[in-house]
């Protein structure tokens, strides 16, 4: 597909959240967070098996030193964000509301780095060496899912991959971390894209960016051709950054229902992960910090911070100057798909793209009323489902009807619940149906 005349691409359905909050932080350059005296690095920060800790209480560690080793194929290494002493394994409140084990490190304040890996001349390197490096560095998808990158880049041989798409859509309201990263470090993103392309043996590489990030599109576009990367301009439409919608917008291919991007010949990777690939391959450093947007109308100085993994959320909010009014809701991730939290002590992990505080007035929970069949959810659903009917099926506990009507294809983007004038908790209904159906299959 030719991108010579700039074409703004999109998908069917979706919504335009009003007042997307990006202006709070999009103009603020990435700041390096001050060093803390204590970090709590959650052991499980990836989809799949948690890694096995390789340090003991009392050990001294350096920055970038291995803390826990990948346990099996679908797992990821974990490294120390700073130098200091291991206190032990403690329980911390996790992002999903449960207590999870974390390695607590008392920082020595020196932030002394261990020896880094030698850089790899990736243009001529064996893709297997690159893959190994990405695995060693503990890379996971930083857009939200935290799927180990090495696994994503090792598709089964029968799947023919011809396109790599970097996801710079950042369609979630409020979040600007990817925007700032693309704007301030375009070469890092582009180089990561090219390295990733080499790993996959793919030369057809796109970076999809929503048109509201014009400066980032310009910054990337200036040097894109050097790396053999094409910039795809996307319409501002939520959920543009959802894998299936992004592939459809850029390539026109539909990922088959129940399938993965590789079934459409594509691999989709977050731009943050691409930058981390460059760090791992070119600079030889593992993934121990990331750009996170700390924002919200009640945050004093909303902005984008380079946060070390294991930073408690409360500290990140303090970096942003604290709050100007009492927040009613704490969300990790964006407001459309992020998770509400019950504790300010949740540590930042590899996939924490945003820390969002909503004011009390916006944290109201609406009482829902019955469906009035307005059909707005049908227009909004990017998967072309019928959310209101699925919701009715779940309210009547008719999970077989929900299954027949393809509830398993729901991507939980929340577009239906956003537009619903009856304020029905549709995403909750979908999740419940999926859980019930999975349980019955067993």
Partner 1 sequence: MSENENKSEVRLPSGSELVLSVSPHLTGSDSVRRIMYKVLLSLVPAAVAGVFFFGFYALVVMLATMLFCIGAEALWCKLAGKPVMGTIADGSAALTGLLLAMNLPPGVPLWVCLVGAFIAIWLGKQVFGGLGHNPFNPALVARVGLLIALPAIMTTWPAPRSLGEPEAAMIERNVTGATTDATSGATPLGEVSTTPKILDRTPQAEMNFSSVDSDRYYWRYFLGEKGGCIGETSVLALLIGGIMLICFNLINWRVPICYIGTVAVFTGLVNFFFPGVTPTPLFHLLTGGLMLGAFFMATDMVTSPITGTGCIIFAIGCGIITSVIRIWGNYPEGVSFSILFMNALVPLIDRWCVRQPFGYVAKREVAK
**Closest CB to partner 1 among 282 and 340?**
340
Establish if 54 lies at the interface with partner 1 (CB under 8 A): no
Beta bridge partners of 55: none
**Closest CB to partner 1 among 86 and 390?**
390
Establish if 370 lies at the interface with partner 1 (CB under 8 A): yes
Residue of 200, 216, 220, 336 that binds partner 1 (CB under 8 A): 336
- Proportion of the chain in helix, strand, coil states, percent, rounded to 5: 30, 20, 45
- Minimum CB–partner distance for residue 319 and partner 1 (Å): 7
Kindly report the three-state secondary structure assignment for every residue of 42-89.
ECCCCCCCCCEECCCCCCEECECCEEEECCCCCCCCEECCCCEEEEEE
**Closest CB to partner 1 among 69 and 409?**
409
Helix (H, G, I), strand (E, B) or coil at 351: coil
Establish if 142 lies at the interface with partner 1 (CB under 8 A): no
**Closest CB to partner 1 among 57 and 421?**
421
Q: Residue 92: which residues within 8 A CB-CB, separation 6 or more?
A: 40, 42, 99, 100, 101, 102, 345, 346, 347
- Minimum CB–partner distance for residue 421 and partner 1 (Å): 5
Q: Residue 98: which residues within 8 A CB-CB, separation 6 or more?
A: none
Establish if 15 lies at the interface with partner 1 (CB under 8 A): yes
**Segment lying near partner 1 (by CB under 8 A), choices 75-83, 118-126, 221-229, 413-421:** 413-421
DSSP-derived secondary structure letter, 163: E
Contact characters 88-127, partner 1, x per CB under 8 A: -----x---x------------------------------
Residue of 171, 205, 393, 417 that binds partner 1 (CB under 8 A): 417
**Segment lying near partner 1 (by CB under 8 A), choices 48-56, 187-195, 200-208, 368-376:** 368-376
CA distance 317 to 352: 14
- Alpha helices for 204-358 (secondary structure H): 214-224, 243-251, 271-278, 313-319
CA distance 89 to 104: 6
**Segment lying near partner 1 (by CB under 8 A), choices 128-136, 191-199, 204-212, 403-411:** 403-411
Establish if 401 lies at the interface with partner 1 (CB under 8 A): no
Give yes or no for a cis peptide into 242 (omega within 30° of 0): no
Establish if 306 lies at the interface with partner 1 (CB under 8 A): no
CA neighbor of 182 nearest in space, from 200, 163, 166, 204? 166
Residue of 59, 108, 187, 362 that binds partner 1 (CB under 8 A): 362
> Could you tell me how many residues of this chain bind partner 1 (CB under 8 A)?
85
CA distance 196 to 149: 10
Residue of 159, 222, 423, 438 that binds partner 1 (CB under 8 A): 423
**Closest CB to partner 1 among 230 and 376?**
376
**Segment lying near partner 1 (by CB under 8 A), choices 41-49, 76-84, 158-166, 255-263:** 255-263
What strands lie across the sheet with 229-234, from one edge to the other? 229-234, 204-210, 163-168, 266-270
């Amino acid at each position: 597909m030719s991108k010579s005349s700039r074409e703004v691409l999109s998908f069917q359905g979706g919504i335009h959240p009003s007042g997307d909050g990006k202006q709070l932080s999009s103009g603020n350059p990435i700041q390096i967070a001050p060093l803390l005296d204590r970090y709590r690095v959650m052991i499980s920060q990836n989809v799949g098996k948690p890694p096995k800790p390789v340090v003991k209480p009392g050990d001294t560690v350096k920055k970038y030193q291995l803390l826990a080793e990948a346990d099996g194929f679908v797992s990821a290494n974990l490294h120390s964000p700073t130098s200091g002493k291991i206190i032990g394994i403690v329980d911390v409140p996790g992002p999903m509301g449960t207590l999870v084990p974390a390695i607590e490190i008392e920082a020595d304040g020196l932030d002394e780095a261990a020896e880094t890996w030698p850089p790899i001349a990736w243009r001529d390197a064996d893709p297997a060496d690159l893959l190994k490096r990405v695995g060693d560095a503990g890379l996971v998808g930083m857009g939200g899912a935290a799927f180990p990158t090495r696994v994503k880049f090792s598709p089964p041989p029968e799947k023919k991959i011809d396109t790599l798409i970097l996801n710079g859509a950042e369609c979630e309201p409020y979040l600007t971390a990817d925007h700032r990263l693309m704007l301030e470090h375009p070469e890092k993103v582009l180089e990561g894209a090219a390295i990733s392309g080499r790993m996959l043996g793919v030369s057809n590489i796109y970076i999809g960016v929503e048109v509201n990030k014009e400066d980032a599109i310009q910054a990337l576009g200036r040097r894109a051709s050097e790396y053999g990367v094409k910039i795809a301009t996307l319409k501002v439409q939520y959920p543009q950054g959802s894998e299936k919608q992004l592939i459809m917008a850029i390539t026109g291919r539909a990922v088959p229902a129940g399938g993965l991007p590789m079934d459409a010949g594509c691999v989709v990777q977050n731009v943050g992960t691409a930058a981390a690939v460059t760090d791992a391959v070119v600079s030889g450093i593992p993934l121990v910090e990331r750009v996170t947007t700390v924002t919200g109308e009640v945050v004093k100085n909303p902005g984008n911070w380079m946060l070390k993994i294991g930073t408690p959320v409360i500290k990140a909010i303090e970096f942003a100057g604290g709050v100007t009014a009492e927040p009613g809701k704490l969300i990790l991730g964006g407001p459309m798909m992020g998770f509400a939290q019950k504790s300010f002590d949740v540590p930042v992990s590899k996939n924490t793209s945003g820390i969002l505080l909503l004011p009390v007035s916006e944290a109201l929970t609406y009482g829902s009323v019955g469906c009035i069949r307005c059909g707005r959810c049908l227009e909004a659903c990017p998967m072309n489902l019928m959310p209101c009917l699925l919701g009715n099926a779940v309210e009547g506990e008719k999970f077989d009807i929900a299954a027949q009507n393809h509830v398993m294809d729901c991507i939980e983007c929340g577009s239906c619940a956003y537009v619903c004038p009856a304020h029905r908790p549709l995403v909750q209904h979908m999740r419940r149906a999926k859980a019930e159906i999975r349980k019955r299959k067993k």
